[in-house]
Amino acid sequence: MGISGASGAMYGQRLVDLLEKAECRVHVIVTKLGRQILMDELGVTELTAESLLGRGSNLLQFHENEDMMSTLATGSFPVDGMAICPCSSHSVGAIAAGLADTLMLRAAYVNMKQRRQLILVHREMPVTAIDLENMKRIAQAGGIICPASPAFYAEPETIGDLVDSVVGRVLDLLGVDHDLPIRWNP
């Protein structure tokens, strides 16, 4: 799980929360700008389960983005997949270019190389032709671009409902069961 420097930290926080509640082991990498946005948008001042989720957890492991010796930097370390949520255009561009000079980028590269799920929850708008080309390259390489586009058919009443509609889609893509009310039900 990566959290990069795009606004929308609550998407990442909620995704980590629901993955942990589903009893998934979650490895969390946060970029430098991602840390700043967590602090600015959510008041998260340190990368701990207690600070991010308001409770302790043995299922979360935080990794420094500069730690290229982390187990996440190698394809021999088994993971089911990776989501970067929120994902900045900068991260999309770096992943599309095959750059792997930080742990988050290397982990994304490894997931694509190993044919594991890679989901990028892009959270910037509008997008440029460059962004679209980068997203196309990632999709052609097997990654999934999942824009943070909440659904309104579930008649959301709160910002949390809007967040859940996006996070529920990511959980679906990861194959994680949940009971969020995000399904189309005419």
CATH topology classification for 2-174: Rossmann fold (3.40.50)
- What type of residue sits at position 143? G
Q: Read off the pLDDT of each residue in 117-138 and give the average, rounded to a whole number.
A: 97
Burial of 156 per CB tally in 10 Å (0-12, 13-18, 19+): middle
Cα 1 from chain centroid? 5
- Residue 113 pLDDT greater than 80, yes or no: yes
Give me the long-range contacts of 98-105 (CB less than 8 A, separation at least 24). 102/31, 102/65, 102/66, 102/68, 103/29, 103/63, 103/64, 103/65, 103/66, 103/67, 103/68, 103/70, 103/72, 103/73, 104/2, 104/4, 104/29, 104/31, 104/65
Condensed to tens digits (0 to 9), the pLDDT of residues 94-111 reads 999 999 999 999 999 999
- Dump pLDDT digits (tens) for 37-94: 999 999 999 999 999 999 999 999 999 999 999 999 999 999 999 999 999 999 999 9
Question: Which tokens go with 73?
Answer: 């930097």
Q: pLDDT tens digits, residue range 43-56?
A: 999 999 999 999 99
Q: Where are the alpha helices (DSSP H) in 72-183?
A: 89-96, 103-113, 129-140, 159-174
pTM above 0.85? yes
What CA–CA distances, in Å, run from 84 to 16, 27, 56, 153, 181? 11, 11, 22, 25, 23
Spatial neighbors of 99 by CB under 8 A, at least 6 apart, are: 105, 109
Q: What is the CA radius of gyration of the chain?
A: 15
Question: With 70 as the cut, is the pLDDT of residue 186 above it?
Answer: no
Domain boundaries, the chain: 2-174
DSSP state of 65: T
How many CB atoms sit inside 10 A of residue 101's CB? 9
